[in-house]
Structure 1
Amino acid sequence: MYFEFIKIQILGILQYKKAFTLGLIAQLSSYGAEFFLLWIIIDRFNEINGWSSYEVLLLYALNLCSYALASFFLSSPSSRLSIMIKDGTFDEVLTKPLNSFMYLVCREFNSGYVSHLLLSIAAMSISLLNLHISMSLIHILFFIVVILSGALIQGAALLLTAIPSFWVVENSSLKDVLFFQVKNFIRYPLSIYPTFIQILLTFILPYAFINFYPSQFFLNKQDFLIFHPLFQFLSPVFGIILFAIAYVLWLVGINNYKSTGS
């Protein structure tokens, strides 16, 4: 049933093919420009703290790919939750004889992130080919695990920045700061930042596990800063734990939800 919601959402969007195509082109242009700006900066300086341009490109691709997967399901719910609570339409979610979380994320499935996914796949292919990385079966399987783990981390972050809406309705700035602004740091190697930022992005807001630590497994790098090399394998652990925490807090928010009565 949940997949039927996704199917209906996609079919509805495809009824307006021109609008979907224009939106796809706009997103590709926007993120493509961001990618080329990043490329120009890295290419101009040849490397950043021992990371070559194609290695930084891999960081960018892992971040964008996992963001796309997470945003398919959680971008719209995390953006619309405060509005739904404010105008009372969230009540409709709770009246369905389904898991409220699963119902909401499938009903609000956002296919607009296809462009992000395509661009990230292209960037990953370019970086892996130019770095001459031989991908064994183990490498391929771990690569998939890393992307899914990154999606769990990003999805948890989107959810965690939306959950306060159950208590403080107008909180869009929280998502802007804790998700979009802070996550900009992982466009570049974590080792270029001061120790405080490294600890922040490793333990408090563990975005470094989206790309920085796991990428070193494929690149055969030893840039683990003050941390243990084992960190390159911990993305699934952080992804599962963070998403579990986010889901538990979602349930707490549901239990504390007070309808507008409209």
Structure 2
Amino acid sequence: MQYVSLYFEFIKIQLLGILQYKKAFTLGLMAQLASYGAEFFLLWIIINKFNEINGWGSYEVLLLYAFNLCSYALASFFLASPSSRLSMMIKDGTFDEVLTKPLNNFLYLVCREFNSGYISHLLLSIVAMVIALSNLNISMSLIHILFFIIVILSGALIQGAALLLTAIPSFWVVENSSLKDVLFFQMKNFIRYPISIYPTFIQILLTFVLPYAFINFYPAQFFLNKNDFLLFHPLFQFMAPVVGIVLSVIAYALWLVGINNYKSTGS
């Protein structure tokens, strides 16, 4: 913990470096906004076309989208680059540099690879939240606000742990990009909509095996006063923090296993 200020210094350096190329950063931001804005627009067309999806109205589905995108942005600030670059770093030997620093290698890597490119995701998710909450007329008490923050942070832990878990096999199998694509991006597409629209197998998969439903589907029901818990207990709406912490502990433990099994290209 004595190096906390140093970790923040790495993030500061990354941000200052980006500010040296303001035009490139602005163009990248606009491109990301356009891309995810188009996805948001397509989602909006679909849910308005069908009026509701299994009892979920358009603004309720929009809230699911906002929870997912916001927590993804927070997780990706720190873990998107390390998870995508780890394989190449191991292959070309540059991961050795991470291990030579007298710091926690995981914290050093995620802070050094801090990626500000997800600001656009965060901004768009905030806009989506404001639109959804204002149209749903949800009364946000202090308890609601605190739980709202907890849900976002818990979702970030779940998504961050998932990014890390799909990268860790790189310590044994260097070329494994398809694993991340299938287990993270493809499977997470399911939670764009209420998981109650899917077969029982998918519901169980997204609850117990790849617990992405705790990012948005279950906690959203607390704010929406819904009772769409499928085969499961209503207490699941409060389980996101537990799932996030447990997944993060598992991911970090496996990271340590991977580090202990790492063999440098120079060894």
User: Normalising by the residue count of structure 1, what TM-score does the alignment of the two structures yield?
Assistant: 1.00
Is residue 178 of structure 1 aligned with residue 183 of structure 2? yes
**In 2: Cα distance, 1:151 partner to 1:9 partner:** 21
Structure 1 residue 247: Cα displacement: 0.1
Structure 1 residue 137: Cα displacement: 0.3
Aligned to 2:42: 37
State the AA in 2 paired with 1:126. Answer: I
**In 1: Cα distance, 2:21 partner to 2:169 partner:** 34
Aligned residues: 262
Structure 1 residue 164: Cα displacement: 0.1
Is residue 168 of structure 1 aligned with residue 173 of structure 2? yes
Structure 1 residue 156: Cα displacement: 0.3
**In 2: Cα distance, 1:164 partner to 1:144 partner:** 32
**1:225 match: secondary structure:** coil
**In 1: Cα distance, 2:231 partner to 2:208 partner:** 13
Aligned to 1:213: 218
Aligned to 1:78: 83
Aligned to 2:160: 155
Structure 1 residue 142: Cα displacement: 0.2
For 2:200, which of 195, 199, 207 is the aligned residue? 195
Is residue 26 of structure 1 aligned with residue 31 of structure 2? yes
**In 2: Cα distance, 1:151 partner to 1:118 partner:** 15
Structure 1 residue 174: Cα displacement: 0.2
State the AA in 1 paired with 2:145. Answer: I
State the AA in 1 paired with 2:244. Answer: G
Aligned to 2:3: none
Structure 1 residue 162: Cα displacement: 0.1
1:173-210 deviations in Å (ceiling 9; x for gaps): 00000000000000000100000000000000000000
State the AA in 2 paired with 1:44. Answer: K
Aligned to 1:116: 121
Is residue 47 of structure 1 aligned with residue 55 of structure 2? no
CA RMSD of aligned residues (A): 0.5
Runs of 4+ aligned residues of structure 1 deviating over 2 Å after TM superposition are none
**In 2: Cα distance, 1:154 partner to 1:14 partner:** 28
Structure 1 residue 140: Cα displacement: 0.2
State the AA in 1 paired with 2:113. Answer: E
Identical-pair percentage: 88
Is residue 251 of structure 1 aligned with residue 245 of structure 2? no
Structure 1 residue 261: Cα displacement: 0.4
State the AA in 1 paired with 2:26. Answer: T
Is residue 232 of structure 1 aligned with residue 266 of structure 2? no
For 1:94, which of 92, 99, 105 is the aligned residue? 99
Gaps of 5+ in 1: none
Gaps of 5+ in 2: 1-5
**In 2: Cα distance, 1:167 partner to 1:227 partner:** 36
**In 2: Cα distance, 1:197 partner to 1:45 partner:** 22
**In 2: Cα distance, 1:34 partner to 1:78 partner:** 24
**In 2: Cα distance, 1:175 partner to 1:185 partner:** 15
Aligned to 1:3: 8
**In 2: Cα distance, 1:82 partner to 1:119 partner:** 30
Structure 1 residue 11: Cα displacement: 0.4
**In 2: Cα distance, 1:74 partner to 1:260 partner:** 24
Structure 1 residue 227: Cα displacement: 0.3
1:12-33 deviations in Å (ceiling 9; x for gaps): 0110000000000000000000
User: Normalising by the residue count of structure 2, what TM-score does the alignment of the two structures yield?
Assistant: 0.98
